[in-house]
Amino acid sequence: MAETQAAVEASGAEIVTVAIRRTNIGQRTDEPNLLDVLSPERYCILPNTAGCYNVDDAVRTCHLARELLGGCKLVKLEVLGDEKTLYPM
């Protein structure tokens, strides 16, 4: 987490894309939370549906992101069609 925080700060980024299914932003209370080191007040957290293989999973992931990020209105929508190549549908 400290390395991620340092890298984002050094980059000067204003928007940080976060793969909701792969990164904890509060959905797993027993793990470190990315939002503890990357504050949504300082950065625009752009949720990404990476790891979703169908529309239902992607929409569910977007709803989870909205709940965890306090009504986020932007999302990077990604639905994978192939597990091996990770090409989109």
**CA atoms of 17 and 13, how far apart (whole Å):** 10
34, 57, 76, 77: the catalytic one is 76
* 73 flagged as catalytic: no
Closest by CA to 57, choosing from 67, 45, 65, is 65
Closest by CA to 57, choosing from 24, 29, 84, 89, is 89
Q: Which residues are catalytic?
A: 76
